Each structure stands twice: as structure tokens, then as C-alpha cells.
């Protein structure tokens, strides 16, 4: 019998991260200072991040060793299984072979602790006492509170209000690992109060929650800020996913023609895809698909421009696809994909046509999630359901052309805290979520006054 799950031993865990920035066949533009609009240097970032993470952010080293202390914690759940989804293939009725990397097996339930543990470690080494952050769906806040707990660091989480209200047990989980959590926008910060004056019932957004977390960190020397996606060092820490998957595909004696991930800020997609992009640059023929929500179509309908990472314009300007920093996404259930911007690395790869972006309505994603849950048994996070939808599309397209492709997707997390979303779907209560053209144009107008990308 051929193995269904490729499970590696802890001793086979990759012990270095892969830095795609070292191999890119094009130049990356630098982030700009929000005041001077000049390229920023390491010192500009030091109020927010520990120096080791800043150095990783700008590093052009191809491989960066993973510290033993980080490996020790990652080994609580890593390596994660690579699974051949035969029952799902049958349910789709495809001749393609489908594999998924199961990142939902981490204690917080997603890929997010891969970077949370590394970030907490470097903050701890530099004597930081408190870390602030934002969370959308709650997966990132859970992951960072889990990680800070190991290093005795206080953690303060601003959770986007709409998710805070729909997922009360994410709050319990974050409290259980010892962190403090507040619904955003809140009255605890200047940025939050400003939004509440304009819109007391604001559902919040990742852009607003980032402003609140950054504001607190910037005020205190022993407090730093941590971001769960977007930045180069975050994507770097996620590459353990793809490094493991390359080894596991070798054990399975197979190789992907298509690699797929959902994208919010780009980190789980990059974690799986970047090591395979290295292989593509080395001559392999692989297609990469990034799946995003039609309600927040950053890559498919946004502008490639400089923009702020947050609503209150506190962060550096990043060269990225963006819908405008004021963009307020519809209240879709994939809270982790409600972000106006995108990682500069993923953005540049899309711009250079190395990644194909696709957008899906939430209804079609939930249908795909249901098919997956009823065939493979795992209830996916609403975010991950976008990757599942894209996988079905790729399989059906290959079938129509008479091709037998190997498709690999990232199951970025489970949906155990998303039952109200699944209830809404089962009760036919989901809103259609496509962004209309007028709203898009109005939001993109905020980019016109900002620097363009050379
Ligand atoms: C399960 C899950 N998948 C995907 C994402 C999207 O983030 P990223 O694009 O950084 O992987 C999130 C974000 O919260 C998430 O919780």
C-alpha cells in the first residue's frame, strides 16, 4: 500500500530558513519612511522590531540557520504531515493527484506559530518585556500568545472587532496562553479613538488593528511590535513548510506541477511556495497560484504602488499591491484575508508574472470546504478554503485538457473556531461579497498622492 501521509521524524526537520530575496531575478524596491518618504534603514525600524529581525528583513543571505531554541519549540508539532488527498480527488472526480501540507496540526491551529516562535525568541534575546500585535481571524493572536508564553514575554493583542465578536473562543485561547486581548478599534489608543469618533460601530480591519498595536509599541522602549505576515522576515520563517514539503514529495516519489496557497498578507503561500520557486529558478516547471477573496481582491484588482501597511499611516510605505490603506473590506468570514495590502515579495513575484493570482467569492469557497470536510474529514479554516477552491479549479482545468497534474496546496489552518461561519453557510445565510467597481475606484484614489514604484 502506498503511504497516504508522509510523516517525517523530528530529526528530519529543516534547520535553516530559505531567503528567496537572495535569488530573485529582479530588484526589490526599498520600504520608505512615512515622514520623509526616503528609503528606510535598520535604525528607522528599531523602535518596532528587535535588531536580529531587522537584519533578517534586509538580508540577502540565501539560508539562515534556525536557532536551537526555536527548533526545540517547533518540534512540538513539526514536521507537519504531507497528505495525499485521495478521497478528495474522488469527490471532485479528477484524475489529478492532490496533496496538501497540513499546517492545521500546530497547537494554535495554523501555520502562524512558525514565525511567532522565532519572533518571540529574538525579542526575548534582546530583553523585550512586551509584544503588541493585531489579529484578524484570531489565528495570529493565538500563535503569538502561545509563543510569548514560552519566553515569559507579555503579549497584547488587538483583535479586529467583527472577528472578536464572532469567535469568542479565540479570545479564551489567547487568554489561556497568558496574553491580553482587546477588540479593535478600541479606546486604548489614539488611532482607535479616531476611528470610533468617525464610526462608532466600526467592524474594524487589520489596517486599523495594526495602527493600534504599532502606536503602543512606538511609545515604550521595552515594548516591540510583531506582525504575523507581509514582511520579509515573517515569510522567511514560514519557509520550513516548503522545505519539508520538498523532502516529503521526494519520499512520495512525486512532484507538484501546481503549488497553491491562500493569501492574506502572503505568509502561508510564501512558506510553501518560495522553496519551490527556488526549484523553478533552477529549471523546474511549476505553476504557482495565490487565492484571495473577491471581497478583498488585493492582487487581482489592486494597484502596484507604495502604500502604508496600516490605516493611521504609522508604518513605513511598502512597495506592494494594495487596495488603499483606508479600505474597509466586507465582513467576510475569512478574517485573516481581510487586508488591504500584500507582502512586497509576493507582490513583486505577481508583477513579474511568476505567480498567478485568483479571486473567489466566499460562497464557492465554503462549498469547496464542505466537499473537503466530507471527503478528507478535516474542517478547514475559511481562509484555507480559498486554496481548496483554487485546487478544485486547477484539477478540473487539467481534466478538461486531458492532463493528469500533481497539485499541492497549503492547508493553512483548521476551522474549529469558525463554526458560526459554517452555520451561516449551511443555513444559506452568507452574503455575496464581491467588491463593486465604485468602491474599488474610491479606495484606490488614496494611492494617487503616494510615491509610485519605479
Ligand atoms: C488559517 C489562516 N490562513 C491564512 C491566513 C492568511 O495570512 P497569510 O497570507 O499571511 O498566510 C490566516 C491569517 O490570519 C489564517 O489564519
Residue closest via CA to ligand 1's atom 10 equals 267
Whole domain around residue 31: which residue ranges?
21-66+112-232
Q: How far does residue 336's CA lie from ligand 1's centre (Å)?
A: 5
What are 290-341's pLDDT values in tens digits? 999 999 999 999 999 999 999 999 999 999 999 999 999 898 899 899 999 9
**What is the whole-number distance in angstroms between the Cα of residue 53 and the centre of ligand 1?**
20
The pTM of the whole model exceeds 0.85? yes
**Residue 293: inside a domain, yes or no?**
yes
338 and 356 belong to one structural domain: yes
Residues 358, 258 share a domain: yes
Claim to verify: residue 299 and residue 386 sit in the same structural domain: yes
Q: CATH code at 45?
A: 3.40.50.1100
| pLDDT for 263 | 98
Q: Are residues 155 and 254 in the same domain?
A: no
Q: 300 and 197 share a domain?
A: no
Looking at the structure, tell me whether residues 135 and 203 fall in a common domain: yes
Instruction: Write the pLDDT tens digit of every residue in 400-435.
Output: 999 999 999 999 999 999 999 999 999 999 987 799
Closest CA to 393 of 308, 290, 278: 290
Residue where a domain stops, chosen among 232, 256, 280: 232
Q: Are strands 154-160 and 180-184 parallel, antiparallel or unpaired?
A: parallel
Compute the distance between CA of residue 219 and CA of residue 224 in angstroms, rounded to an integer.
9
Q: Which of 232, 256, 278 is the last residue of a domain?
A: 232
Pocket test for ligand 1, best of 100, 107, 110, 270 (most atoms within 8 A of CB): 110
Q: Based on the fold, state whether residues 376 and 431 are members of the same structural domain.
A: yes
Cα(263) to centroid(ligand 1), Å: 7
Among 232, 250, 280, give the residue marking a domain's end: 232
Q: Which of 321, 412, 417 to mutate to test the pocket of ligand 1 (most atoms within 8 A of CB)?
A: 412
Q: What distance in Å separates the CA atoms of residue 120 and residue 129, rounded to the nearest whole number?
A: 10
Residue nearest atom 4 of ligand 1, based on CA coordinates: 383
Note whether residue 87 is domain-resident: yes
Instruction: Answer yes or no: is 141 within a domain.
Output: yes
Using omega within 30 degrees of 0 as the cis cutoff, is the peptide bond preceding 348 cis? Answer: no
CA distances (Å), origin 190, targets 49, 187, 213, 338, 350: 21, 7, 11, 22, 35
Assess whether 334 and 356 both reside in one domain.
Answer: yes
Identify the pLDDT of residue 454.
Answer: 82
Q: Indicate if 30 and 137 belong to the same structural domain.
A: yes
Our count of domains for the chain comes to: 2
Average pLDDT, the chain: 96
Q: Is 444 a domain residue?
A: no
Q: Which of 100, 231, 262, 384 to mutate to test the pocket of ligand 1 (most atoms within 8 A of CB)?
A: 262
- Domain membership flag for residue 10: no
Same domain, 365 and 376: yes
Counting atoms of ligand 1 from 1, which one is nearest the CA of 381? 1
Q: What is the pLDDT of residue 1?
A: 60
Instruction: Give the tens place of pLDDT for each residue, 96-126.
Output: 999 999 999 999 999 999 999 999 999 999 9
Please report whether residue 12 resides in a domain. no
Ligand 1: list residues with CB < 6 Å: 110, 136-137, 139-140, 229, 262-269, 336-337, 381, 383-384, 412-413
Do 58 and 99 fall within a single domain?
no
Atom of ligand 1 nearest to the CA of 109: 1
Q: Does one domain contain both 153 and 301?
A: no
In a domain? residue 442: no
Residue 2 lies in a domain: no
Amino acid at each position: 500500500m502506498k503511504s497516504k501521509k508522509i510523516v517525517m521524524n523530528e530529526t528530519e526537520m529543516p534547520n535553516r530558513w530559505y531567503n528567496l530575496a537572495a535569488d530573485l531575478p529582479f530588484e526589490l524596491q526599498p520600504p520608505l519612511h512615512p515622514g520623509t518618504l526616503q528609503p528606510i534603514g535598520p535604525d528607522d525600524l528599531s523602535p518596532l522590531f528587535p535588531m536580529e529581525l531587522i537584519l533578517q528583513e534586509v538580508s540577502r543571505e540565501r539560508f539562515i540557520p534556525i536557532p536551537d531554541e526555536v527548533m526545540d519549540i517547533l518540534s512540538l508539532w513539526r514536521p507537519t504531515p504531507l497528505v495525499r488527498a485521495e478521497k478528495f480527488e474522488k469527490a471532485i472526480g479528477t484524475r489529478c493527484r492532490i496533496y496538501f501540507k497540513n499546517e492545521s496540526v500546530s497547537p494554535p491551529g495554523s501555520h502562524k506559530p512558525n514565525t511567532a516562535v522565532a519572533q518571540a525568541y529574538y525579542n526575548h534575546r534582546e530583553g523585550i518585556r512586551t509584544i503588541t500585535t493585531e489579529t484578524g481571524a484570531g489565528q495570529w493572536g493565538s500563535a503569538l500568545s502561545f509563543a510569548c508564553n514560552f519566553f515569559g514575554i507579555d503579549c497584547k493583542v488587538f483583535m479586529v472587532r467583527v472577528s472578536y465578536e464572532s469567535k469568542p473562543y479565540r479570545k479564551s485561547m489567547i487568554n489561556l496562553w497568558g496574553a491580553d486581548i482587546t477588540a479593535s478599534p478600541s479606546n486604548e489608543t489614539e488611532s482607535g479613538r479616531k476611528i470610533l469618533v468617525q464610526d462608532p460601530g466600526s467592524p474594524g480591519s487589520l489596517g486599523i488593528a495594526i495602527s493600534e498595536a504599532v502606536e503602543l509599541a512606538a511609545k515604550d522602549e521595552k515594548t516591540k511590535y510583531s506582525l504575523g505576515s507581509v514582511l520579509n522576515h515573517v515569510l522567511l520563517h514560514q519557509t520550513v513548510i516548503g522545505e519539508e514539503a520538498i523532502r516529503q514529495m521526494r519520499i512520495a516519489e512525486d512532484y507538484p506541477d501546481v503549488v497553491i496557497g491562500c493569501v492574506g498578507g502572503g505568509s502561508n503561500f510564501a512558506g510553501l511556495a518560495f522553496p519551490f520557486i527556488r526549484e523553478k529558478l533552477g529549471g523546474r516547471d511549476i505553476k504557482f497560484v495565490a487565492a484571495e477573496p473577491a471581497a478583498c481582491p488585493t492582487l487581482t484588482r489592486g494597484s502596484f504602488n507604495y502604500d502604508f501597511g496600516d490605516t493611521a499611516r504609522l508604518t513605513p510605505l511598502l512597495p506592494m499591491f494594495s487596495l488603499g490603506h483606508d479600505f474597509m473590506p466586507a465582513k467576510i468570514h475569512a478574517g485573516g484575508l481581510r487586508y488591504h495590502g500584500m507582502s512586497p515579495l509576493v507582490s513583486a513575484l505577481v508583477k513579474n508574472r511568476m505567480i498567478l493570482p485568483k479571486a473567489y467569492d466566499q460562497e464557492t469557497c465554503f462549498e469547496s470546504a464542505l466537499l473537503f470536510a466530507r471527503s478528507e474529514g478535516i474542517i478547514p479554516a475559511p481562509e484555507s478554503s480559498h486554496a481548496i477552491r483554487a485546487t478544485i479549479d486547477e484539477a478540473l482545468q487539467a481534466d478538461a485538457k486531458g492532463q493528469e497534474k500533481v497539485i499541492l496546496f497549503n492547508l493553512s489552518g483548521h476551522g474549529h473556531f469558525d463554526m458560526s461561519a459554517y452555520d451561516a453557510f449551511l443555513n444559506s445565510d452568507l452574503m455575496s461579497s464581491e467588491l463593486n467597481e465604485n468602491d474599488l475606484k474610491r479606495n484606490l484614489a488614496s494611492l494617487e498622492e503616494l510615491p509610485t514604484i519605479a
